[in-house]
Structure 1
Amino acid sequence: MKSKDEEIEEEAVLNQNKSKLEKTISAGIHGGYEFKKGEKNQFLGEFRERIIRVLNFKQIIEPGVYPEVLEAIKDSEAKKLIISRKANLKAAKDYIELANQNNLSFKKVDSPEFKGDIGLAVVSDHAVHHEEIIVIDKEEKFKEIGLPVELLQKAGEKICADCYHKIEENAPEELINFEKMSWIDSLFNSSCVC
């Protein structure tokens, strides 16, 4: 048995030799053919070639901001930030604010046909063909470069000078998520992960 998409594709091929009236009637009956529908369902309703960067649902709720997404938002090709309605919008607040600061439109989307775990996408209004659109998890990144994974829980907080310098040396783009403790902070028993 053929799926509805397969029937629509077959009908679109058969329609090539039909009159305009026959094509219109066929589209009314079958709902018409949507180009790259499966791809669009994977990328929150957008074509893959328009995507600059994406985050999955888990990455959205992690503390701090992914610098790769900030870079994508600041990209001159970026036009909008799209977030799934299934995503935690409270956790995505920082990304929405960054989009607003950089004059990107913001849109929440939902469809029962969306597939996969993509919860956020930075998108252009035309094809940009970025090779790397999927952002590596911070935990995996920190492990690869030898930084303590526990630092990720301190995103948005102050950390000791030693940990700050480790990040500065190994992943300077991540410094947007951390502040260095002053000597006064250390006197008042502010704790770090080390």
Structure 2
Amino acid sequence: MSKKDVDDYLTEGMYGTRLPKDNERKQFLGTLRERIVLVLTKGQVMSNKGLEALEQAMKDNPKSKLIINGHVSYRFQKEEKALANKYNIEHSTITNEEQSDTDIGAVLTYDYAIDKEQIFIQEEPNQEELKHDASPPILSKIKNWFK
């Protein structure tokens, strides 16, 4: 390991000690992926999709904690906070400018690694999307006009 020079000390003094996997911490609201039980995107938090999965995860992991992105409006955070209170799960809101560019809305996590494979909720398409996908392509419609 190389010796620190003056620039390293100045940078550390101004910005703090560099943490390993800093980009991962910015994406997942200050925690590491290996510690996460469940992740909700901002869209899932704002539309209350994933509340059932979050509730089940809280039941299964009573010693976890919930981290909520502070860049999501408070009115959208109420349901998640109410669930955390219901199951006595510690929760906090992170409002950090470094986390403003992430799409993550809430994270249920531990302070240690659990290495869970699937942390994102798989959303089922709604009926409108299914109808849209089932419609024939535009070229097929045009061909039918000329038959």
TM-score by length of 2: 0.72
Q: Secondary structure at the match of 1:106?
A: strand
Structure 1 distance, partners of 2:116, 2:52, is 16
- Segments of 5+ residues of structure 1 without an aligned counterpart are 1-15, 147-194
Aligned to 1:30: 11
Aligned to 1:169: none
CA contact 2:25–2:31 (8 Å) conserved in 1: yes
- Segments of 5+ residues of structure 2 without an aligned counterpart are 131-147
Q: Deviations over 1:11-60 (max 9, x none)?
A: xxxxx243xxx57x665312232210000011011111111111111111
Aligned to 1:117: 103
Judged with a 3 Å threshold, the aligned counterparts in structure 2 of structure 1 residues 118 and 64 are, in CA distance, closer, same or farther, namely closer
- Structure 1 or 2, whichever has the larger Rg, is 1
Structure 2 distance, partners of 1:106, 1:50, is 15
Structure scoring higher RCO (CA < 8 A, sep ≥ 6) equals: 2
For these two proteins, the number of residue pairs brought into alignment is 123
Structure 1 distance, partners of 2:33, 2:112, is 10
Structure 1 distance, partners of 2:74, 2:87, is 19
CA-based RMSD: 2.3
Judged with a 3 Å threshold, the aligned counterparts in structure 2 of structure 1 residues 51 and 78 are, in CA distance, closer, same or farther, namely farther
Task: Tell which deviates more after alignment, 35-44 or 98-107.
Answer: 98-107
Aligned to 1:132: 118
| Alignment-mate amino acid for residue 39 of structure 1 | E
Structure 2 distance, partners of 1:79, 1:37, is 22
Structure 2 distance, partners of 1:107, 1:113, is 17
Judged with a 3 Å threshold, the aligned counterparts in structure 2 of structure 1 residues 63 and 39 are, in CA distance, closer, same or farther, namely closer
Give 1:76 deviation, angstroms. 2.7
Judged with a 3 Å threshold, the aligned counterparts in structure 2 of structure 1 residues 65 and 53 are, in CA distance, closer, same or farther, namely closer
| Alignment-mate amino acid for residue 85 of structure 1 | G
Aligned to 2:83: 98
Find 1:55's aligned residue among 30, 40, 44: 40
Aligned to 1:13: none
Of all paired residues, the percent bearing the same amino acid is: 28
CA contact 2:51–2:80 (8 Å) conserved in 1: no
Judged with a 3 Å threshold, the aligned counterparts in structure 2 of structure 1 residues 87 and 126 are, in CA distance, closer, same or farther, namely same
Which 4+ residue blocks in structure 1 deviate beyond 6 angstroms? none
| Alignment-mate amino acid for residue 134 of structure 1 | F
Find 1:45's aligned residue among 25, 30, 49: 30
